[in-house]
Chain A
Amino acid sequence: GAGVSQSPSNKVTEKGKDVELRCDPISGHTALYWYRQRLGQGLEFLIYFQGNSAPDKSGLPSDRFSAERTGESVSTLTIQRTQQEDSAVYLCASSLVRLLTYNEQFFGPGTRLTVL
């Protein structure tokens, strides 16, 4: 079946503008995650949605970052008033979370954000 998809694949914006990044998880996956990967670095957790539970926002770096998810489908990550340090690849992942199973996460191709 289809994997995790993200759009756009690339986004160039000017400092101070708002951007919206989209993630379509694998159908039926209840959990959705956003990570950020700066050039040459590891993945930093941003936010996690699981079903109807309150999202885990503990990784969001500032109040300029927010995310929404509609039910168990699409999610959007919004960055307001972008700064140059926001330049990175933003990766989305999804997983099927069930009792007594584990957390294999499948990643999308990412959105490369460049803030000029």
Chain B
Amino acid sequence: GENVEQHPSTLSVQEGDSAVIKCTYSDSASNYFPWYKQELGKRPQLIIDIRSNVGEKKDQRIAVTLNKTAKHFSLHITETQPEDSAVYFCAASKPWGGKLIFGQGTELSVKP
């Protein structure tokens, strides 16, 4: 069935370092790949997304890459700051407003 695997489950970095989170999806029909940030006790917030017709997208310190052949996508955060500390979820969905299949999450800790 549909599945999204996310690694690592926890990630600790020093402030200013880069962080990379990787996801693999199983359904080749998926064409939309969002990333959500969830702070403790808060709702998930979309931080960046990528569609299947592009291989990379950047927004300031965050970037996402997509390899459709290998069915994996990654989140890159550069120059990490303590306020980046949160749980990050990747997800995948098929066209036309389908459900999101989420990865299990990565708890990112940025140490000052």
Give the interface of A toward B (CB within 8 A).
30-31, 33, 35, 41-45, 48, 50, 56, 58-59, 91, 95, 97, 102-110
B99 to A50, Cβ gap below 8 A? no
A33 is contacted by which of B31, B51, B99 (Cβ under 8 Å)? B99
Task: Tell me the smallest distance from the CB of B68 to a CB of chain A, in Å.
Answer: 15
A103 to B98, Cβ gap below 8 A? yes
Alpha-carbon gap, A97 to B34, bound state (A): 15
Within 8 A of A (CB), among B34-69: 34, 36, 42-46, 49, 51
A97 is contacted by which of B46, B89, B96 (Cβ under 8 Å)? B96
Q: Does B78 contact A (CB under 8 A)?
A: no
Within 8 A of A (CB), among B71-112: 89, 91, 93, 96-105
A43 to B43, Cβ gap below 8 A? no
Task: Tell me the smallest distance from the CB of B24 to a CB of chain A, in Å.
Answer: 14
- How many residue pairs link A and B with beta carbons under 8 A? The number is 61
Alpha-carbon gap, A44 to B101, bound state (A): 7
A33 to B100, Cβ gap below 8 A? yes
Alpha-carbon gap, A59 to B102, bound state (A): 13
Alpha-carbon gap, A59 to B98, bound state (A): 12
Known: A104-B46, A104-B49. A48 touches B89 (CB 8 A): no
- A45-B101, A105-B46 are known; give 20 further A-B pairs, CB within 8 A: A30-B97, A33-B99, A33-B100, A41-B105, A42-B89, A42-B103, A42-B104, A43-B89, A44-B102, A45-B100, A45-B102, A56-B99, A59-B99, A102-B31, A103-B93, A103-B98, A103-B100, A104-B46, A107-B36, A107-B43
A43 to B49, Cβ gap below 8 A? no
B102 is contacted by which of A43, A104, A109 (Cβ under 8 Å)? A43
Chain A contacts of B100 at CB under 8 A?
A: 33, 35, 43, 45, 103, 105
Task: Tell me the smallest distance from the CB of B100 to a CB of chain A, in Å.
Answer: 6
Known: A91-B43, A108-B43, A110-B43. A45 touches B97 (CB 8 A): no
